[in-house]
């Protein structure tokens, strides 16, 4: 994957610009900076027309929309197993009935999913037309030429007038834009994907367990550490305080760890002399990681190094873990009636902040994740694929999935503001308050660059070594070595 990316990016930017010229709607205007693209989401969603500007709205064609235009075509869709994907799968029959487009659909667990997707995309065979991705992965896929720029379709006669691009929360839709220049913030450039749902990472806790043990729900990092240690083996061998991810891949870094890392004031990279330079060995980064290693060693799962989000959620729902720090919807789905043994006993907190580092509630930051759907640039069925994408990101579909299918992190303003949605989440104690509060300062705190997977995988491996081995004499030594590794991985990137 190592390439002379500066040349490649220039070519891709030019190609995207030329492709965009043929669209009557033009490119959806970027409204965000690095902070804007993930922050103030709740504020932007507070008004039905928040962030929308007439001059930035892609113009949809007037007249009756022809949903049968590609009747008889067949597309292939590959998704990761997820609540969002389940909702889509349930409505595939209705989509085919409305459009006449047959969908060959498959899904698989997240770990296997990205492995298969990467093989399919690298082959440039066009075997998949639409697939799920995250904002971070889109940096790699777009740079490699795997993603079709969606401004070629938004606002053209291929888009239904009632699809309403401006109804997307600006912070969320902007998280899926990037100009392909390493180090540049998201929020400008081509629209590489459409959001299916977005997630903030907050604390979920078991009210029953904490009350029985006389422990108050933790608000600070120090309280979280104390509570997690006190809850070790609270219900015998195998039970523990806090569920967090531990696999040696990017998924371990982006939720709870990166949220605490950013709240602590640490950064992954900075731009120096036209180059990306890793800052994982800064005083803030080292102090936070020292805290994290202590937290996991003394309050985490005994088999932490094998834990992804699925096992974290399962332990929380089974009452094996007293608390979990992960995506908000992970705790929410475990709390819905009949979903787990502890359903109804779960409540939601915020992002614990480190008082020892001089932080307060005002400093709480959650790293943002956006599950999205994208179009394969090598697809031979792009128009039919676009029909699929707009149908399953429409206001109507997202209202149904948000209310009926527990897809609570809806990216559409109209859904968030609907009475039906507000009523559907009202029974989850603390959820709406936590979600709306943390969302105000949620963002993608990673630096946009095409070696995201490589750098975060090395980061996760270093965490595993710190927790499970004696490889390093100190956290400082480990982070110093990690910095050197990350600097080497991004050494061929040039920042304009």
Q: Name the phi and psi angles at 350, rounded to 5.
A: -110, -145
Looking at every residue in the chain, the average pLDDT score rounds to 89
pLDDT in tens, 119-161: 999 999 999 999 999 999 999 999 999 999 999 999 999 999 9
Q: What angle do CA 18, 23, 27 make, to 5 degrees?
A: 75
pLDDT in tens, 312-342: 999 999 999 999 999 998 999 999 999 999 9
pLDDT for the residue 19 = 31
Q: Tell me how far CA of residue 239 lies from CA of 217, 315, 320, 341, in angstroms.
A: 18, 9, 5, 15
Judge if 345 and 293 occupy the same domain. yes
The region of weakest confidence among 80-84, 109-113, 237-241 is 109-113
pLDDT for the residue 21 = 32
CB 407 within 8 A of CB 83: yes
Task: Give the pairing of strands 240-243 and 321-327.
Answer: parallel
Q: Is the pLDDT of residue 49 over 60?
A: no
Q: Ranked by mean pLDDT, which of 3-17, 318-332, 428-442 comes out on top?
A: 318-332
Judge if 143 and 257 occupy the same domain. no
Q: Domain of 230: which CATH number?
A: 3.40.190.10
pLDDT for the residue 432 = 86
Judge if 272 and 411 occupy the same domain. no
Average pLDDT for 172-195:
94
State the pLDDT confidence band at 387, using cuts at 50, 70 and 90. Answer: very high
Judge if 181 and 313 occupy the same domain. no
pLDDT in tens, 91-107: 999 999 999 999 999 99
Three-state DSSP class for 412? Answer: strand
Computed from CA positions of residues 257, 263, 267, 271, in that sequence, does the dihedral angle turn out positive or negative?
positive
Judge if 453 and 323 occupy the same domain. yes
**3-state secondary structure string, 6-39?**
HHHHHHHHHHHHHHHHCCCCCCCCCCCCCCCCCC
pLDDT for the residue 63 = 60
**Given the structure tokens 């149904």, which residue do they identify?**
400
Cα 51 to Cα 56: distance, rounded to the nearest angstrom = 10
Residue 223 lies in a domain: yes
Residue 41 lies in a domain: no
Residues linked to residue 479 through DSSP beta bridges, in sequence order = none
CB 276 within 8 A of CB 449: yes
Length of the chain: 496
> HSE (CB half, 13 Å, CA atoms) of 33?
1
pLDDT in tens, 247-261: 999 999 999 999 999
Residue 47 lies in a domain: no
Domain count, the chain: 2
Q: Is the pLDDT of residue 229 over 60?
A: yes
Cα 470 to Cα 425: distance, rounded to the nearest angstrom = 45
Task: Give the pairing of strands 130-134 and 275-278.
Answer: unpaired
CB 334 within 8 A of CB 343: yes
Residue 18 lies in a domain: no
Last residue in a domain, options 396, 417, 438: 417
CB 243 within 8 A of CB 232: no
Judge if 382 and 360 occupy the same domain. no
Three-state DSSP class for 203? Answer: strand
- Is 338 exposed, middle or buried (CB count within 10 Å of its CB: 0-12, 13-18, 19+)? exposed
Residue 428 lies in a domain: no
State the pLDDT confidence band at 442, using cuts at 50, 70 and 90. Answer: confident
> HSE (CB half, 13 Å, CA atoms) of 152?
19
pLDDT for the residue 110 = 83
Judge if 93 and 222 occupy the same domain. no
Residue 81 lies in a domain: yes
Three-state DSSP class for 152? Answer: helix
Residue 312 lies in a domain: yes
pLDDT for the residue 138 = 95
Cα 18 to Cα 23: distance, rounded to the nearest angstrom = 10
**Assessment of whether the complete model's pTM goes beyond 0.85:** no
Q: Is the pLDDT of residue 34 over 90?
A: no
Judge if 221 and 152 occupy the same domain. no
Listing from the earlier edge strand, what are the strands of the sheet with 240-243? Answer: 240-243, 321-327, 201-206, 346-348
Portion of the chain with pLDDT greater than 70, in percent: 87
The region of weakest confidence among 17-31, 109-123, 143-157, 404-418 is 17-31
Q: Is the pLDDT of residue 347 over 60?
A: yes
Domain that holds residue 104: 5-12+58-199+370-417
pLDDT in tens, 273-318: 999 999 999 999 999 999 999 999 999 999 999 999 999 999 999 9
Judge if 255 and 179 occupy the same domain. no
Judge if 185 and 259 occupy the same domain. no
Instruction: Please choose, from the candidates 17, 59, 69, the residue with its C-alpha nearest in 3D space to the C-alpha of residue 154.
Output: 59
Q: What angle do CA 47, 50, 55 make, to 5 degrees?
A: 145
pLDDT for the residue 441 = 84
Judge if 245 and 346 occupy the same domain. yes
pLDDT for the residue 170 = 85
Q: Which residue has the higher pLDDT, 78 or 53?
A: 78
Judge if 189 and 327 occupy the same domain. no
Residue 377 lies in a domain: yes
Say how many C-beta atoms besides its own lie within 10 A of residue 302's C-beta: 12
């Amino acid at each position: 994957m190592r390439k002379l990316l500066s040349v490649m990016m220039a070519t891709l930017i030019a190609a995207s610009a030329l492709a965009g010229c043929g669209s009557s709607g033009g490119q959806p205007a970027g409204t965000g900076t690095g902070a804007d693209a993930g922050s103030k989401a709740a504020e932007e969603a507070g008004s039905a027309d928040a962030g929308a500007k007439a001059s930035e709205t892609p113009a949809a064609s007037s007249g009756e929309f022809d949903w049968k235009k590609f009747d008889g075509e067949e597309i292939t869709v590959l998704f990761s197993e997820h609540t969002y994907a389940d909702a889509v799968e349930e409505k595939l029959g209705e989509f085919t009935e409305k459009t006449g487009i047959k969908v060959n659909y498959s899904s698989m667990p997240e770990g296997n999913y990205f492995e298969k997707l990467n093989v399919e995309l690298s082959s440039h065979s066009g075997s998949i037309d639409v697939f799920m991705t995250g904002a971070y992965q889109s940096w790699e896929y777009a740079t490699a030429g795997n993603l079709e720029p969606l401004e070629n379709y938004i606002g053209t006669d291929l888009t239904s007038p009632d699809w309403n691009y401006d109804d997307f929360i600006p912070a969320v839709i902007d998280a899926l834009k990037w100009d392909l220049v390493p180090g540049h913030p998201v929020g400008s450039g081509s629209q590489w994907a459409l959001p299916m749902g977005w997630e903030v990472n907050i604390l979920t806790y078991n009210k029953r367990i904490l009350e029985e043990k006389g422990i108050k729900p933790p608000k600070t990092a120090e309280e979280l550490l104390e509570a997690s240690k006190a809850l070790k083996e609270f219900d015998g061998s195998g039970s523990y305080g806090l569920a967090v991810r531990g696999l040696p891949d990017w998924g371990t870094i982006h939720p709870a760890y990166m949220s605490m890392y950013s709240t602590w004031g640490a950064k992954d990279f900075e731009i120096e002399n036209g180059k990306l330079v890793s800052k994982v060995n800064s005083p803030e980064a080292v102090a936070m990681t020292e805290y994290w290693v202590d937290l996991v060693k003394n309050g985490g799962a005994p088999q932490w190094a094998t834990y992804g989000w699925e096992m974290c959620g399962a332990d929380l729902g089974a009452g094996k873990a007293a608390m979990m720090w992960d995506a908000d919807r992970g705790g929410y789905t475990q709390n819905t009636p009949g979903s787990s043994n502890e359903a109804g006993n779960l409540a939601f907190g915020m992002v614990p902040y480190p008082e020892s580092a001089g932080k307060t509630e005002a400093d709480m930051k959650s790293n943002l994740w956006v599950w999205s759907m994208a179009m394969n640039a090598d697809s031979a069925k792009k128009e039919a694929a676009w029909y699929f994408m707009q149908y399953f990101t429409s206001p109507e579909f997202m209202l149904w999935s948000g209310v009926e299918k527990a897809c609570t992190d809806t990216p559409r303003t109209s859904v968030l503001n609907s009475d039906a949605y507000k009523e559907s989440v009202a029974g989850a104690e603390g959820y709406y308050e936590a979600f709306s509060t943390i969302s105000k300062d949620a963002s993608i705190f990673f630096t946009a660059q095409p070696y995201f997977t490589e750098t975060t995988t090395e980061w996760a491996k270093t965490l595993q070594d710190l927790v499970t081995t004696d490889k390093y004499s100190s956290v400082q030594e480990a982070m110093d070595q990690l910095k050197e590794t990350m600097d080497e991985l991004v050494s061929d990137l040039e920042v304009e």
